[in-house]
Structures are given as C-alpha cells and as structure tokens.
Amino acid sequence: MSADGPPPDTRSDWTIDQDWQAYTPAEHQVWMTLYERQSKLLPGRACDAFLHGLDVLDLHRGGIPDFARINEELNRLTGWTVVAVPGLVPDAAFFEHLANRRFPAGRFIRKPDQLDYLQEPDIFHDVFGHVPMLTDPVFADYVQAYGEGGLSALGRGQLHNLARLYWYTVEFGLLETPAGLRIYGAGIVSSHAESIFALDDPSPNRLGFNLERVMRTPYRIDDFQQVYFVIPSLKALLDATLQDFGALYGRLATSGDIPIAAIAPGDRVFTAGSQAYAAKA
C-alpha cells in the first residue's frame, strides 16, 4: 500500500479488474478443494443465513467465482456487489466501499501448500467466507452501517475500537440459535480448523454480545481466538449498532481494555457446542 495513493494499475477507489480469465486450472482446483472440504463440514455448524447464501450464489460451479456473475444475484437480493482490490486497502477506502454496499475482495488465491493457513485474506476467505452472509438483508444492512460508522469515526482516533467490532462479528462472530451456537463470521467459516475449534474446543470463552464489551476487547491475529462473542440474532446485532457512537467513544477513551481471556462481571458465558449459558457475577 502506498501512502501517496493506489499502486499502479489500480483505480482511485483502490479497485482493480478481477481478470477472471487469467486464473489457471491449478488455481481453480485450489478453490474446489477448499470449497468441497468446507461445504461438507459446515452443515450443523454454520448459521442458516450463511448456508442459504452459499446455495443461492452457487459458489461451487466453475471453480473461482466470476464477480460479474455472482454480482447479478447478490445485487438483486440485497443491493451489494463484490469489487476486486489488490490487497488490504486504506481505512477510508474500505469504509467508503462498505457504506456504498461494495465488498472489497482480493482476487488472488492461496497456493496448494497453504490450504490450512494464509496470513493475508485471499479470494476464498473474502468470497466464500464473507459474501454468502451479504445475501441476508439484515446482515447486509449491518455491514453497510458499519461502513458508515467507520467513515464518521475516522477523525476520532478510535478506529482500533471499531476494528474490534468488525473482528468479533463479521470475522469471528457466533450466533445463538435454538439448536445451539452457529458460526457466521468469515474467519471461522473459511477455516477448516477454526470451524471445529470455535464450537467444540473447551479452551476459548464464548461470551454474550455487548457492544461496549466487544469494543474494549483486543484480538489476536496469529492463532485461534481466545474469545468469541455470541449474538442472539442478526437483528439484535444491527439494532445495537444503529445508534450515535459519540457517548460510547467517550466512555471507551477512559475505560481501558479488557484482557482477551478475561471474563468480566455480568458476562454471559456459553458452554462449548451448546446454547446454554450462565451469568457470571
């Protein structure tokens, strides 16, 4: 990323052409391998909204999806489109895209020897992980609202707090359902190992979602999560963020962080693989 503007061959809004025809058979095979592995694992683990989105977008056919094709259906359902970007983009460009219902996605795909871990998000993470949830009208509204909130927060110096909200919802969120906890976060559904760990392993805390609590909690990018936040519904997530964050940012500026592995007074603690919880005093 250049501090002076987009790199060569990148538009002013940091988008590029996907150039779908340039993908090789080997790259398409990587997508198919990843897709088939995850699609077998996720029923009973991913939430219904994700599985429905995966089905209606038909992300399996022809290997790596052509953005032009999936955008026809995605735009019809919720008004969103996917745009190709060269990699991570500046905060202002990222929020601008989300606020206008454009999801920035990397166009490269990982190598065959990187199936289980890749540090930088690739097209499988961005499209398989994120885009199915954008077919859900409520979640689509939430991500747009997040983008609008990011634009308004740019000058406040508290983007680290807002980034935590994205991390613990869009990337690593869990949903409470009558059948138990379900995954909706892209960082989990696109990872074979974390799709199991997030629901079954006894080591991480699974805590009831509270907006201020989430924004006071740091996160780690180099290992499985030590804490996941559980929303009661997608509507509750949207409603929690449709507010003026001014007073919240004021409290966050003086309240300090909560350690990642901590359980704070009043936290709702969910047991692994279940919907049951107990309130911690």
pLDDT exceeds 70 at position 276: no
Q: Considering the domain boundaries, does residue 9 fall inside one?
A: no
Q: What is the H or E stretch that residue 40 is in?
A: helix 25-41
pLDDT exceeds 60 at position 8: yes
- The average pLDDT across 101-107 equals 97
- The average pLDDT across 111-115 equals 88
How far is residue 156's CA from residue 66's CA, in Å, rounded to a whole number?
Answer: 38
Q: Could you report the per-residue pLDDT of 42-65, keeping only the tens digit for each?
A: 999 999 999 999 999 999 878 999
51 or 223, higher pLDDT? 51
Q: Considering the domain boundaries, does residue 14 fall inside one?
A: no
Residue 151: CB partners within 8 Å, gap ≥ 6?
92, 95, 96, 99
For strands 174-177 and 180-183, give the pairing: antiparallel
Counted domains in the chain: 1
pLDDT of residue 74: 98
Q: Around Cβ 96, how many Cβ atoms within 10 Å?
A: 19
For every residue of 217-272, DSSP letters joined together read ----SSSS-SEEEEES-HHHHHHHHSS--HHHHHHHHHH----TT---TT-EEEPT
At 4, is the pLDDT very low, low, confident or very high (cuts 50, 70, 90)?
low
Confirm if 110 and 124 have CB atoms less than 8 A apart.
Answer: yes
Q: Considering the domain boundaries, does residue 120 fall inside one?
A: yes
Q: How much of the chain, in percent, has pLDDT values that exceed 90?
A: 80
Which of 19-33, 37-51, 141-155 is the least confident region?
141-155
Q: Considering the domain boundaries, does residue 268 fall inside one?
A: yes
Q: Considering the domain boundaries, does residue 6 fall inside one?
A: no
Q: Considering the domain boundaries, does residue 10 fall inside one?
A: no
Q: What is the mean pLDDT of the chain?
A: 92
pLDDT of residue 5: 78
Q: Considering the domain boundaries, does residue 212 fall inside one?
A: yes
> For position 47, which CATH number holds?
1.10.800.10
Partners of 2 in beta bridges: 5
Q: Considering the domain boundaries, does residue 12 fall inside one?
A: no
pLDDT exceeds 90 at position 154: no
Q: Which residues form the domain of 134?
A: 20-279
